[in-house]
Structure 1
């Protein structure tokens, strides 16, 4: 797409309400502001935004967007530029290694970062650029209504728990996560998220770095247990860094209901360690890393089926509210950031808001549906499971286990779950909207 050249000013700008102050919601606010749309209000259900969560990955496609928003230096200061992805047998043997980020030919790095650090950067910039009253906490959007008759401007009335009167806006953006209330109104009767039977135990530990200090490793690769470990900070003065780790165990069947009790609750590391009994990884003290975590959380691996539409009049979905993904491709937050940039670009570029939302839906929904399918197949795990079957006691050289063409298939699988190639991303034109100075979009009549 070619950036818009028509001038614009913030005068008489539309009132835009964003449900959710996560990575997607805050990036949307920054993207709208950068595109000249400043009348933005973000509603967050949590009463106080706190530094919580664990590590996440930002693929180069997302890093490009945050860099073009002026956050490149902040990311570099808080994150680790991931250089390699490696798969290892539970006894340490190297199955596959491939470069990531700049080492893979992208113009932008791949970053591993603590979610809380990223959230802090985004929130600080929203407050600085749009004003400290932009994000209102303790207000969960529970539903919406909208005018659908007449020739005048259509407005959305969004309802928040505890507030007697609705919030009136020209556009409501549902960025309120996998249990989105906005999505539940847009698509009633959908039911709870879908569980694939895998339980994820997650934690962050202060521990020695491993390998080059910039490598993500996936260990195990059998059908029952897998571990993922990567640094989310550079080494400190003590020589240690913050390691994010996840241990996945299959405890149920694909498609079974999500167990209702005790999810998202802290558990003891002793509950995780038995799953790693007998594992030996020479370059990483996996057992010590898990045991060192001050807090361990357990989550089900869940998602939702693709939707037939992300739009309903002047209401639109974004991020996990639109397309929750398994974390197997390290791509959930990245896709929310891309959503935010595309949506802001199209809304600012079109005088016809309905056309802008329609284009966003036509562009992003099919792309994320392809990713969801690849993530559900847990690619490249099925191929890696063959290694366990063929060499359960380990190996010295993976080429004695799998032929070269089978190993090359792993590269194809990892590309499917990230969803973009270096040449395509490097060549694509920017989604930034140039500074503009003429009248506002025709659809943006202020709402009272």
Structure 2
């Protein structure tokens, strides 16, 4: 079976590795960029994704560049504690959570694809469209634009892992337009600074108008500092109208000034922002949930299928689940068409439910409730939100995202046996 993957991001590369592990050996990966440069900032791989990386036998390669956070804590805009919970193995999972630089992860996956599959990545190949069943053997014809002109690739299955601006998605949903923004602007960066709290905690602070997220990306170094990934978020007057880009650098000082009063006992937010060498800006956008992913022998995967807000830190993890599920279903179905149908039947409803939760702010809803009920702060959070309500919000999101500890630990493996 010949399989063509459009996109060499996290989802596309993991799909190639998953397919190879499931027994497929005729795979091509087509990337629009002239080279894979490993851009971006920090991301989180949650336990349900780390389970799949473990079963693929690549988790050690990734963990060598990652940190294992042991807790997640929510605070209001005054730095007062709302909710804290253990993460990874400390929360009863059999697998940890990993915080890693997105660019480093992409380069590790690129190297693993080359090691396991050979030179199957073709750069400077931008997907234009796919015609299912178009060649004499009934295979799909994927058309790519390259620096040397148009090129057609015949494949039994074409996978559109080409991101939020997916050409395959646009081909079947031409009226969709640009990704819609919710009016929030994000600024992301990596700083080198002294550890905060216990040095192993991921924090989220703020409300629906102004929010700050930070977590370590590496160990404490000889000078007492460590790399810390952060995300600053603000609702802009008139909304965020700029088109979605992921690597637009902006000056540091104006972002630090937006958080000038956020000096907590446990973290000086403006000082942390000023420690960044570079800050990248983009609007918070997603895509509407789709009624269909698969068209003939072509399907969507990752952000091309279900780009969602980063509330809950789940985007990359869902791409991992897509990749592993698709490989398993293709390997265990009688025909490619049956495999694609089984993949969509499992993953599309699950991501649609999760998409709705992220638009409702996901587990970060606890910060909105605290701001609504106690806009000037509180003496103790349980005077504002009952502990049962906090626990229900956290557990509900885990169930929707597929990483509630009990269900994840008990779920059957997606590894293809024999």
Match of 1:354 in 2: 337
Alignment CA distance shift 1:40-1:247 (3 Å)? same
Match of 1:433 in 2: 416
* Secondary structure in 1 matching 2:276: coil
* Secondary structure in 2 matching 1:242: strand
Alignment CA distance shift 1:262-1:383 (3 Å)? closer
Query: Which residues of 2 match residues 207-286 of structure 1 at below 5 A?
Result: 207-220=193-206, 222-251=207-236, 258-260=241-243, 264-286=247-269
CA distance in 2 between partners of 1:431 and 1:390 (Å) = 44
* Secondary structure in 1 matching 2:64: helix
Match of 1:377 in 2: 360
Match of 1:365 in 2: 348
Offset at residue 350 of structure 1 (A)? 1.5
CA distance in 2 between partners of 1:279 and 1:417 (Å) = 32
Are 1:45 and 2:35 an aligned pair?
A: no
Per-residue CA deviation, residues 189-245 of structure 1 (Å, 9 max, x unaligned), is: 22111111110011011111212221110011x231000001111222323211110
Offset at residue 422 of structure 1 (A)? 1.0
Q: 1:141 aligns with which of 112, 127, 144?
A: 127
Offset at residue 148 of structure 1 (A)? 6.0
The answer on whether the counterparts of 1:196 and 1:252 sit within 8 Å (CA) in structure 2 is: no
Match of 1:329 in 2: 312
- Structure showing greater Rg: 1
Match of 1:319 in 2: 302
* Secondary structure in 2 matching 1:346: helix
Match of 1:206 in 2: 192
Offset at residue 35 of structure 1 (A)? 0.8
Query: Which residues of 2 match residues 409-428 of structure 1 at below 5 A?
Result: 409-415=392-398, 418-428=401-411
Q: 1:302 aligns with which of 273, 285, 288?
A: 285
Alignment CA distance shift 1:351-1:278 (3 Å)? same
Query: Which residues of 2 match residues 43-122 of structure 1 at below 5 A?
Result: 43-122=30-109
Alignment CA distance shift 1:205-1:78 (3 Å)? same
CA distance in 1 between partners of 2:394 and 2:122 (Å) = 43
Match of 1:172 in 2: 158
Offset at residue 285 of structure 1 (A)? 2.1
* Secondary structure in 2 matching 1:386: helix
CA distance in 2 between partners of 1:74 and 1:264 (Å) = 26
Offset at residue 413 of structure 1 (A)? 4.9
Are 1:160 and 2:144 an aligned pair?
A: yes
CA distance in 2 between partners of 1:147 and 1:418 (Å) = 34
Offset at residue 417 of structure 1 (A)? 6.1
* Secondary structure in 2 matching 1:327: coil
CA distance in 2 between partners of 1:35 and 1:147 (Å) = 24
CA distance in 1 between partners of 2:370 and 2:130 (Å) = 51
TM (normalized to structure 1)? 0.88
Q: After the TM superposition, which of the residue ranges 421-430 and 381-390 deviates more from structure 2? A: 381-390
Offset at residue 296 of structure 1 (A)? 0.5
CA distance in 2 between partners of 1:407 and 1:69 (Å) = 35
Match of 2:377 in 1: 394
TM (normalized to structure 2)? 0.94
Unaligned runs of 5+ in 1: 1-13, 436-448
CA distance in 2 between partners of 1:280 and 1:417 (Å) = 35
Q: After the TM superposition, which of the residue ranges 371-380 and 275-284 deviates more from structure 2? A: 275-284
The answer on whether the counterparts of 2:357 and 2:397 sit within 8 Å (CA) in structure 1 is: no
* Secondary structure in 2 matching 1:185: helix
Match of 2:9 in 1: 22
Offset at residue 339 of structure 1 (A)? 0.3
Name the Cα RMSD after superposition. Answer: 1.9
Aligned length: 416
Offset at residue 264 of structure 1 (A)? 4.2
State the structure with bigger RCO (CA 8 A, min sep 6), 1 or 2: 1
Per-residue CA deviation, residues 259-318 of structure 1 (Å, 9 max, x unaligned), is: 349874210111212221212221122111100111101111111111111100010100
* Secondary structure in 1 matching 2:197: coil
Q: After the TM superposition, which of the residue ranges 235-244 and 296-305 deviates more from structure 2? A: 235-244
CA distance in 1 between partners of 2:249 and 2:175 (Å) = 31
Offset at residue 399 of structure 1 (A)? 2.6
Per-residue CA deviation, residues 313-366 of structure 1 (Å, 9 max, x unaligned), is: 010100000000100110000000100000001111112111111011111000
Are 1:181 and 2:167 an aligned pair?
A: yes
CA distance in 1 between partners of 2:190 and 2:91 (Å) = 27
* Secondary structure in 1 matching 2:338: helix
